[in-house]
């Protein structure tokens, strides 16, 4: 029962940032944070800034810098609170694996204790 409540709270906190980014992009960010920072108990998007990096013949590459606050469970009732910065990019093009337009990549993930 405890694991079910943990899963529901994790999914509800992840859905708070998934709505502001494209679903494939947010899933890629979620996987990168899990691999670099560990499994998060909660994860909240603070802000996302986008910058046009390059435009050529109508194609564009957009850079994103997203800031998150997360909590990682260390022990029963003990948490580490993190500030997480994720740099990612979007490029116009066709993603053959996803069979959809738009290529996303996560360039860096920085996890800092608060």
Q: What percent of the chain has pLDDT over 90?
A: 68
Question: For residue 16, what pLDDT band results from cuts at 50, 70 and 90?
Answer: very low
Report the pLDDT value the prediction gives residue 49, as an integer from 0 to 100: 96
Length of the chain: 114
Q: Quick check: 79 pLDDT over 60? A: yes
Q: Quick check: 93 pLDDT over 70? A: yes
Query: What DSSP string describes 18-37?
Result: HTTS-HHHHHHHHHHHHHHH
Domain total for the chain?
A: 1
- The pLDDT tens digits of the residues spanning 28-66 come to 999 999 999 999 999 999 999 999 999 988 899 999 999
pLDDT mean across residues, the chain: 86
The b-or-e profile of 31-57 (16+ CB within 10 A means b, else e) is: ebbeeebeebbbbebeebeeeeeeeee
- The domain containing residue 67 runs over which residues? 2-113
């Amino acid at each position: 029962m405890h694991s079910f409540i943990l899963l529901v709270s994790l999914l509800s906190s992840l859905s708070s940032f998934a709505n502001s980014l494209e679903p494939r992009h947010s899933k890629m960010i979620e996987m990168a944070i899990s691999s670099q920072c560990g499994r998060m108990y909660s994860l909240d998007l603070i802000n996302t800034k986008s910058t046009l990096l390059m435009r050529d013949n109508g194609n564009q590459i957009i850079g994103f810098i997203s800031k998150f606050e997360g909590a990682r469970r260390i022990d029963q009732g003990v948490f580490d609170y993190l500030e997480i910065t994720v740099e990612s990019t979007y490029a116009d093009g066709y993603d053959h694996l996803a069979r959809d337009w738009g290529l996303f990549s996560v360039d860096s993930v920085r996890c800092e204790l608060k």
